[in-house]
Amino acid sequence: MGRVLHTLLLMFAVTACTEQGPTEALGTLERDRVTLTATSNEIVRLQPVKEGEFVKKGDVLVQLDNKQQLAVIARVKAEEAQAAAYLLKLTNGERPEDIAAAQASVERAKATLTEAESSYRRITKLVAQKLASYSERDRARAERDAAQADYHSAAENLAKLTSGERPENITQAQASLEAASAEVALQQQILDDLTIIATRDGVLDSLPYNVGERVSTSSIVAAVQADTVPYARVYVPEPYRVKLKAGDKLTVHVDGMANSYTGTLRWIATEPAFTPYYALNEQDRARLVYLAEVDMPDEAKDLPAGVPAQVEMPHE
């Protein structure tokens, strides 16, 4: 009888341990990974840093071919200079030499008109005295009218040079210059993007392309593992989800380390790692997990990424 009772108690203990479920969230240590992509379809010309080396923010990681973009920059800068010169011409007015030449043209046209009017009056008197023909009078009138038109044209040209440009023309020239300057800024940004630089301090983790290979637009050309304290990315069993919130202190164990660490839960997912169906029973729900991230303390800064980690769940 005692042996049967002992056997039943042992079976009960084993069953209880089996149904207890996991008490740790399993995962790995991770660091922020910064991926840098290509903005143009160009050839890799230079990779001054090797994989695994430490880089600082602003260091050049990859240089893509920029010959074509340099030519574009030269063209748009020339267009900008042309627009600026035209606006300066409109705002400064005409050169004194051009104004002097226009004044001389007016004087010349005025003298010609005076002579043509005198000739016309003289011919008209001769016709009245029947000493000249009507055709001579008509020719003199035509010469006078032509001289008068030339004089008015020269006077209008002089007025245009001395009165300056219309405000609408100056506004249009200013807008053209602004558009040219904006195009220069845009093309300069495209040129700068052909030089891939580190945006954070860290370790160069990956260079997917070799020198001489052509990269496609939006493809990853470099990846940097940020120089920060790692965090534990773990999967929390479903029964502990309601017991955790951001800011909770949790004990973290790292494989290969004798001592444990006290981490801070910074984020936990609101959705499980997979989408459950509606007919889950209690046993199935217990197998659901929620992705979480636990910040490690400063003393864990030198730990490598990818190492397995376990986070103790809060006790009852």
Buried b (16+ CB within 10 A) or exposed e, 70-88: eebbeebbebbeebeeebe
Does 118 map to a domain? Answer: yes
The per-residue pLDDT string of the chain (316 residues; one tens digit each, 9 = 90 and over) reads: 444 434 333 343 333 344 455 788 999 999 999 999 999 999 999 999 999 999 999 999 999 999 999 999 999 999 999 999 999 888 776 677 777 888 889 889 888 988 889 888 888 888 888 888 888 888 888 988 998 999 899 888 877 776 666 778 888 999 999 999 999 999 999 999 999 999 999 999 999 999 999 999 999 999 999 999 999 999 999 889 999 999 999 999 999 999 999 999 999 999 887 644 443 445 555 578 899 999 999 999 999 989 999 999 997 6
Q: Are residues 87 and 157 in the same domain?
A: yes
Q: Are residues 60 and 197 in the same domain?
A: yes
Does 10 map to a domain? Answer: no
pLDDT of 39-84, one tens digit each? 999 999 999 999 999 999 999 999 999 999 999 999 999 999 999 9
Q: Are residues 98 and 176 in the same domain?
A: yes
Are 36 and 223 in contact by the 8 Å Cβ rule? The answer is yes
Q: Are residues 238 and 198 in the same domain?
A: no
Computed on alpha carbons and rounded to an integer, the radius of gyration of the chain in Å comes to: 44
Does 13 map to a domain? Answer: no
Number of domains in the chain: 3
Residue 135, CA distances (Å) to 84, 123, 138 in order: 56, 10, 5
Does 2 map to a domain? Answer: no
Does 12 map to a domain? Answer: no
Q: Are residues 77 and 180 in the same domain?
A: yes
User: Domain with 245 in it: what CATH number?
Assistant: 2.40.30.170
Q: Are residues 118 and 166 in the same domain?
A: yes
Does 16 map to a domain? Answer: no
**Within a 13 Å sphere around the CA of 154, how many CA atoms are in the beta-carbon half?**
20
Q: Are residues 273 and 291 in the same domain?
A: yes
Q: DSSP strand E in 113-260: where? A: 195-197, 202-206, 220-226, 231-237, 249-254
Residues spanned by the domain of 211: 36-66+192-226
Does 3 map to a domain? Answer: no
Q: Is pTM, for the whole model, over 0.85?
A: no
User: Domain with 222 in it: what CATH number?
Assistant: 2.40.50.100
Does 60 map to a domain? Answer: yes
Q: Are residues 25 and 162 in the same domain?
A: no
